[in-house]
Structure 1
Amino acid sequence: MSNPVFDNSAIFGDPRKQRRTQGTGPTTTVQRGYPQAGTSGAPTIGAVRLEQMYGGPTATTRDTGRLTYDDVIVKTGGLLALLVVAAAATWQLAPGLWILGAIVGLGLGLVNAFKKSPSPALITAYVVAQGVFLGGISAFYAQAFRPGVVPQAVLATFSVFGVALFLFRSGRVRVTPKFTKFLLIAMGGYLAFSVLNFVLSFVLPSSGSFGPLRGGTLGVVVGLVAVGLAAASLIVDFDSIKRGVEQGVPAKFAWSAAFGLIVTLVWLYLELLRLAAMFSGRN
């Protein structure tokens, strides 16, 4: 998987067969309301109650405590709203805290990515830290480059998300082993490129705001490739969530699914913000 949140999860990773447990001894399970052999005075079910039971609706995944798409949507929407609030507050009050937000967000992101069971508190703390980071970095871009780069990046992020979801739901793009392998290799190459660019930015400090390898035409091409990788990662995330719902995993893992989507969306927004700045130019 491309997203470590889903990749390291036994829930959203490889499909698992559902197991059914059965009693080994005779009459190990007593059904409530049914008389058992050899008992006296056992409760019985009336004809009206029995008819209501058979005529009632089938239990849904929500009734059985299993993951649903609604769970993922609600959790993701709530975390996104919290991220926006934290980003807006940081932009207005203390944009210089973006460095602290980046460090704390990175640490919490790694902790949440490798936890076997989701922690709502840690995931919420991660989102707040990322909101602080995005609010500060967005304020910097808004001041250093022409007005409008932040709204453009936000609109482009939701547009790419919508296109990726459409391509996945329509079946036009399918997550196959080859697709996943190609994405993993491409993201590994992009990560190596980004680390090299970061190191060279200290050696060549006059190379610009984006580093010596992210300026000019090459920077635009790399940015477009990164956006494509982020979009492909979203599609893989959707497939992981779909597999989790179909397997009937516990509803608490909606937090993990929402966290994984937030991680990819933050990456996508940063790449689009950088691209918008490249096209707009400095103030």
Structure 2
Amino acid sequence: MRQSSNPVFRSLPQQPGGYAQFGSGIAGAQQMGQMAQPYTQYPPQTGVSRPLTIDDVVTKTGITLGVLSVTAVISYFMVSANLALATPFVLVGALGGLALVLIATFGRKQDNPAIVLSYAALEGLFLGAISFLLANVTVSGASAGALISQAILGTIGVFFGMLVVYKTGAIRVTPKFTRMLVAGMIGVLVLMLGNLVLGMFGVGGGEGMGLRSGGTLAIIFSLVCIALAAFSFLIDFDSADQMIRAGAPEKAAWGIALGLTVTLVWLYLEILRLLSYFQNR
């Protein structure tokens, strides 16, 4: 069975069955041959009114993104009124959000709405502050509103574009595809950590390998990250599709919402960074 590149999805139980579809493309159709297998992962449960549906996924994801968006707007205007709040908001939001993702992933609490919505609030705190810094401090002589709006539209466009790609089966989600994507993401993570460590020791004038310096290498690195985030949506959609087919309980929609939000946050940040690089050139 394919495993998602998203750690949140990877820790969710997955077993192909035959309930419903998240997408109708080749990626989803590949599971049809396994429909005859018994449901070993999700047996009938007392107190579960109905299995997971696509409406549950859309609703829970919408609520999660709504909390994130409202918190981000509040954070942005609070930082704009008092720049001293930027650093604590970024640190608390980023580290707190990471801690909740780790708790949800390794503690198998992805379906806990309190954890998912708390993550959304913390990430909103982080995104609002970092968006202000990138659009108003890092970039000079540019419209912050226009820059952030472009990043948001770009994120939405990539998300729905990859959903169309998945539903039409234009790109097949195969084990080989998944392995290549995971390898790419591990490579990017290693480079990010290496760049951070080198920068802390003053290498490259504090810029490390220059992956975030705004130069040509930084632009290439951001494009690679955007591509990886975009392609990871295909595997996330497929993982959600498998859960719906397996008749997972309704509350599993919170775990799917968390996984999609993690990828959306990463994609938005990389697009915003890329746009800020072009504005400074």
Please give the range of the TM-score, normalised by the shorter of the 2 chains.
Answer: 0.7 to 0.9
Specify every segment of 5 or more residues in structure 1 that has no aligned partner in the other structure, as ranges.
Answer: 22-62
Q: Give yes or no for the alignment of 1:106 onto 2:120.
A: no
Instruction: Indicate the residue corresponding to 1:72 in structure 2.
Output: 57
User: What is the TM-score with the length of structure 2 in the denominator?
Assistant: 0.80
CA distance in 2, matches of 1:150, 1:214: 18
Instruction: Indicate the residue corresponding to 1:43 in structure 2.
Output: none
Task: Classify the secondary structure of the residue corresponding to 1:221.
Answer: helix
Which deviates more from structure 2 when the two are superposed, residues 160-169 or residues 139-148?
139-148
CA distance in 2, matches of 1:165, 1:149: 25
CA distance in 1, matches of 2:241, 2:226: 23
Residues 16-66 of structure 1: CA deviation (Å, up to 9, x unaligned) = 731598xxxxxxxxxxxxxxxxxxxxxxxxxxxxxxxxxxxxxxxxx9510
Aligned pair partner of 1:135 in 128, 133, 150: 128
Q: Give yes or no for the alignment of 1:235 onto 2:234.
A: yes
CA distance in 2, matches of 1:134, 1:17: 43
User: What is the TM-score with the length of structure 1 in the denominator?
Assistant: 0.79
Percent identity at matched positions? Answer: 39
Shift of 1:12: 6.8
Residues 83-103 of structure 1: CA deviation (Å, up to 9, x unaligned) = 010000011114522221111
Shift of 1:218: 1.1
Instruction: Indicate the residue corresponding to 1:192 in structure 2.
Output: 190
Residues 115-157 of structure 1: CA deviation (Å, up to 9, x unaligned) = 3242111111111000000000001112121223211111110
Aligned pair partner of 2:7 in 4, 7, 32: 4
Aligned pair partner of 1:88 in 65, 68, 73: 73
Aligned length: 241
Cα RMSD between the aligned structures? 2.4
**Contact 2:16/2:246 (8 A) holds in 1:** no
CA distance in 2, matches of 1:102, 1:211: 23
**Contact 1:72/1:258 (8 A) holds in 2:** yes
Q: How does 1:191-270 map to 2 (within 5 A)?
A: 191-204=189-202, 207=205, 212-215=210-213, 216-270=215-269
**Contact 2:15/2:246 (8 A) holds in 1:** no
**Contact 2:97/2:123 (8 A) holds in 1:** yes
